[in-house]
Amino acid sequence: MNVGFIGLGHMGGPMSLNLIRAGIPLVVHDLDKAAAEEHLALGATWADSPAELATQVDVLITMLPGPRQVESVLVTAGVTDALPEGSVWLDMSTSTPEVARRVGERLDTRGVSRLEAPVCGMAKGAKAGTLQIFVGGAEGVLERCRPLLDVMGDPERVFHVGPHGAGYAVKLMLNQLWFSHLVATTEVLTVGVKAGVDLAVLRRALVASSANSHFLEHDLASVLERGDYDESFAMALACKDLGLSVDLARDVGVPVELSAMVEQIYRRGRAKYGDLAGEMIPVRLYEELAGIELRVPVGE
């Protein structure tokens, strides 16, 4: 199986390196050729353009920042016209069902199959090959691509979630719920501390109650224990994902007042702290508004 990979950034870089280390022949492309240095040193082949890469592969994997870049690479850069009949486009970007539908219609006329497989697990999971993957599309195409997905993700957490569009929807809703957890949890902790409750005591009480969540117990520890607002995922990308989630809700006719408020809080944080601030920087926004610092001793 000849495999191509476009998008060697924060996530795509380590994901594609895992494929190479697993012995899978890989052709790679990125806007920045320097991003491919390690790949080429390990035996990957460089393609000068997305279209040139597409002519050489049985499976094309894309891991791009968002739907605009997906459509630009697939359509504007000529990939849809270059992929050979019988090949597969495997999109692992956080994109939208609508963009995939438009691109997919062009591929359908050329006999090219497609599968969406957005991921969860951040850069740490990408490096370790333990990503959770949400697959939308035909089961037969999934089985064809499963050997690749099992290298990049945890085989026990590669989920077939439905037809085309379902994978993108699951990923967007997962993101929306996580960001909502952050805002709701931060508000609760901030109010509790301002009301005179020791933060470590409040946190322990919540963790032991029905209000506990994975976010409160694990994800938020980086801020509370170390003051780390997680710069591994930037606010520019967080706001992009939130916008896509709210847009999807509008597209399917569901009013999402809470999600819209969460999006606005994130946009306020981005405006204050910048595009590259970490995805948990809204915690700092609340800290500054309340005149406190949410910190606990490690292990508390």
171 carries an active-site annotation: yes
Task: Measure the CA–CA gap between 94 and 244, rounded to whole angstroms.
Answer: 9
Q: From residue 231, how far is each of 178, 237, 279, 298 by CA, in Å? A: 16, 11, 7, 20
Backbone angles phi, psi at 220, to 5 degrees: -75, -10
Distance CA 298, CA 300 (A): 6
Q: Is the dihedral of CA 18, 51, 166, 219 positive or negative?
A: positive
What is the β-pairing status of strands 131-136 and 119-120? antiparallel
Which whole-number Å values give the CA distances from 46 to 36, 148, 277, in the listed order?
A: 8, 19, 32
- Whole-angstrom Cα distance, residue 291 to residue 49? 51
SS3 assignment, position 133: strand
Which residues pair with residue 113 across a beta bridge? 88
The one-letter amino acid at 89: W
Pick the catalytic residue from 171, 194, 240, 272.
171
* Catalytically active residues, by annotation: 171
